[in-house]
Amino acid sequence: MAGTRLDRVLADGSAAGTSRSRVKALIEAGHARIDGATVQDPSRKVKAGETVTLEIPDPVAASQAAEEIPLSVVYEDSHLIVIDKPAGLVVHPAPGHSGGTLVNALLAHCKGSLSGIGGVERPGIVHRLDKDTSGLMVAAKTDAAHRDLAAQFAEHSVERVYAAIVKGVPRPASGEIEGNIGRNPRDRKKMAVVKSGGKEALTRYRTLEILAKSRAALIECRLATGRTHQIRVHLASINCPLLGDPTYARKVAGLPDFGRQALDAFTLGFRHPESGETLRFVRPYAPDFLRYLALLRGPSRVQE
């Protein structure tokens, strides 16, 4: 690993399971040492023979308030919890959403038994769904479970399958969408497929049904990577944006308005961090998603 950045060495080595952004923050806060000397530059290149150490401090107690918000619990044990997040629920506190989030609900439901590795604002959170995406999520109750689940997400071994209703019909009917995703250079609030920089991203899709006389289609997406807005950005890049997506699509004339992006995470599979058992959860499409699908149905055919 000689010549590799310090943050990457630590994220891939002794701190495996801790996100690289978290490792970077710990380095900048003075928790890393090379041959006993504190180093605060995450980009510092390591040399052969050096001893690199990272001190991971005890997690800070969450400052968020527990709120009795109803949760749809799919599975729960002493290590983790799987919930079915409704559309409209923000995952963790952020500017403009200081309360009423999934984190607030989990703090009340789990009564203090959430992993603290995610930091003050995100106890238990291993991954996220956009506010207006419905679907299955897993949260960690212990630090050990958090590290293991984070590692599974990092190595892209977690199964995540989404149903999406898009504008038009993808051509070809099934395939892969590749393209690094980064900040849109013209609008920093958006993500985009970028020619340089960004993070590698791969989405596999297949068309399930043609809707509304070929003005829309129901497709299934499987994530090989997990980038911010990945499915939304990738589908928009092939001119089949999600219906109802206020950021990456325009309203399609003649089609009913969904009121949110038509994306539903209906399958989630991963290895249990304690037992090693493969857990796989599949549920029917969200009720509002099904109602919207019914509105769009008419003469249709399933793609083989």
Q: Looking at the annotation, which residues are catalytic? A: 130
Of 84, 246, 244, 97, the C-alpha closest to 166 is 244
- Euclidean distance between CA atoms 178 and 229, whole angstroms: 14
Q: Count of alpha carbons within 13 Å of 117, Cβ hemisphere only?
A: 28
User: Phi and psi (nearest 5°) for 249?
Assistant: -145, 160
